Structure 1
């Protein structure tokens, strides 16, 4: 298939959506499909080179504007005219829209006008973020916009069964599961690095609490800090290491001089950081999945999270991790303290968690995604064919009795 992927975020940006899309693109390209990525041009990219051919895909970069609070990210602008030109010259078999901004919405409109099948992914609970950014009055507006955008496509993919059920109750149509995998060759306990731990100022037996992600309001860092303070009360030599960057980084660096802030890492360096920790605390309840949860499981950490998204999907409480009811902060903190106090429990959960992650292969996910895309394209073609036949019949003169 000749597939176009429209997205507001893609590598080299560092976030769960960009990582997921990169895995899907690599998997589809390895299966012989042609991929074109359409995305906003990033700050460091020259407008002189708006089209590039990479090994896995062709990239078309269009104008964008910075997202308030996230200057490293760009919001795509409506691009209907440019997309019409591109798709008239090189008509895709299917367009998949991964983000719901102005660029993605205009891509859906243009694909429908040109008679090209179009699907979409629900990656981010933007309506839930309104609470964290103190614009809760906008939640109904944002929720209505998201539903409108996705219901104009043949399929809407979401990463967990729980989210699919919620979206169905909210009026979303034609839903399909698109889960996430773990690269176990990258994220595994063998990446543990004693010299890295020593650079954090911890000994072999000192528990390291790790967290990876964007340092932003929606990640619920105040609860993470409270849980770590409770751990310190029972394990004074414990260390909190935060891997990431974001709009709240400088504020938290001032507030928490006892915390190690490393900045963003990717690839092998990120895997070393994961595997060199002991406990992973995941406090967010706004993400649609949370790739960091499964990466931490694969890396051999004892994971504690709310019973939500990836944790709800893959963690069995007391067997391969610990979960707390969503919103029960006291239970979350109690689980964190329990992991700090019980090294035998940590070891058992870490071993079982790594086994769980080993079964989450990207190959199986790409194969299912491809089958669902092909099904949508075939359904679209059948509908068009039947519509053409009906139109032809209705245009014939009626028989005279």
Structure 2
């Protein structure tokens, strides 16, 4: 820790948190652990998770936080396995009056986040927000495209009530500026290269997938949901399989599209949700990694795949746009060029020398993306915000009626 940085009390407010499995929860796990290692006291406020018993509070011994407050949680429409939180701002205000945080970070922009911003502003506690999820883009994938403009206005209103909005990439910083979010800061992501490593390649697992040593395992890791552009991944793999009959498509994750995909493609291998060392083995046992999403704000799985030594194929956006150099440590295609995405995957499948080269370089580059640097960057951003000051004029407007 910097010599002039005394330990602080930092509160993290989020509608999703470990042990839930998604990019936001994974990022917050790393963030909380890193902040505590730097000497800070961490309080987490989150909704009660699915199947979590009434009155249960996770033990602080997990190493993610020093104190936790659980509020009412209800299913998120379209994402029944995720929750949104409900709590009165007066309740949070009383909590923070009794144990005042030095800074508050709000990771999600749901009802819990709205209450937290209101309480923090009333108390004059510095409050920052994160832009982790493109909910306004997701609307078009769930039959609610007409709400996209209103969701953008809501996001503008919400984030402009905070001192700064943290985004993971330069492209996302341009996106939030175009939305009218006026004060943003760049906060990247890291990857645990001790967990995700090519050394965990498992010949037994590959044999269970029906692969010989030189045959291709094409991997997808993530939610099986419409906004992930899985049609692109399926089209790409089918082209690969047309030339490499023994290739296997390995899908790690779960979601609303799993049943439909399994019915249409019974030869695909669905591994379900994997955690910890099992997830690392699945990554390391693959060869190519397809990341077809055009809606992710970052995509932690891209760095995890690179750390695992896979040949990543992605669109030139989010994590891939930030970290992949075409034909050096992976393959990227312009957002509008589906054919280029497929052609890039075919080149990796057809050219072993190219595949081996990008896999080796991907691992080397991932080694430079450590979480320690990113946690320090986060610390410097949120602890430098004023307790009171010039909040944006739009923050005085009423919330848009959705």
Q: Scaled by the length of structure 2, what TM-score is found?
A: 0.93
CA RMSD of aligned residues (A): 1.3
1:157 aligns with 166
2:232 aligns with 223
Unaligned runs of 5+ in 2: 1-7, 391-402
Counterpart selection for 1:211 from 196, 220, 240: 220
Decide whether the 8 Å contact of 2:71 with 2:87 is kept in 1. Answer: no
Matched residue of 2:82: which SS?
Answer: strand
Counterpart selection for 1:29 from 1, 16, 36: 36
Structure 1: distance between partners of 2:356 and 2:57 = 50
**Does 1:199 find its partner at 2:217?**
no
Output one character per residue of 1:182-204: Cα deviation in whole Å (capped at 9) or x when no partner.
11101111110100101111110
Matched residue of 2:158: which SS?
Answer: helix
Structure 2: distance between partners of 1:380 and 1:92 = 11
Structure 1 residue 48, shift from structure 2 partner: 2.0
Structure 1: distance between partners of 2:242 and 2:212 = 18
Structure 1 residue 174, shift from structure 2 partner: 1.8
Structure 1: distance between partners of 2:88 and 2:123 = 14
Decide whether the 8 Å contact of 1:200 with 1:260 is kept in 2. Answer: yes
Structure 2: distance between partners of 1:52 and 1:243 = 29
2:305 aligns with 296
Decide whether the 8 Å contact of 2:72 with 2:87 is kept in 1. Answer: no
**Does 1:280 find its partner at 2:286?**
no
Structure 2: distance between partners of 1:294 and 1:99 = 22
2:89 aligns with 80
Aligned pairs for 1:25-174 within 5 A: 25-50=32-57, 52-54=59-61, 55-57=63-65, 58-174=67-183
Structure 2: distance between partners of 1:235 and 1:51 = 48
Structure 1 residue 114, shift from structure 2 partner: 1.3
Counterpart selection for 2:20 from 2, 13, 22: 13
**Does 1:323 find its partner at 2:324?**
no
Structure 1 residue 336, shift from structure 2 partner: 1.1
1:257 aligns with 266
Aligned pairs for 1:294-373 within 5 A: 294-373=303-382
Structure 2: distance between partners of 1:151 and 1:204 = 53
Decide whether the 8 Å contact of 1:64 with 1:74 is kept in 2. Answer: yes
Change (3 A) 1:114 1:51: farther
Structure 1 residue 324, shift from structure 2 partner: 0.7
Structure 2: distance between partners of 1:166 and 1:73 = 25
Asked which structure has the greater CA Rg, the reply is 1
Decide whether the 8 Å contact of 1:28 with 1:366 is kept in 2. Answer: yes
Structure 1 residue 51, shift from structure 2 partner: 7.1
Structure 1 residue 52, shift from structure 2 partner: 4.7
Change (3 A) 1:187 1:108: same
Structure 2: distance between partners of 1:261 and 1:51 = 31
Structure 1 residue 337, shift from structure 2 partner: 1.1
Aligned pairs for 1:380-399 within 5 A: 380=387, 383=389
1:393 aligns with none
Change (3 A) 1:241 1:93: same
Structure 1: distance between partners of 2:121 and 2:30 = 27
Structure 1 residue 80, shift from structure 2 partner: 1.2
Output one character per residue of 1:280-318: Cα deviation in whole Å (capped at 9) or x when no partner.
011000000011111101100011111111111011101
Structure 1 residue 46, shift from structure 2 partner: 2.2
The alignment covers a number of residue pairs equal to: 381
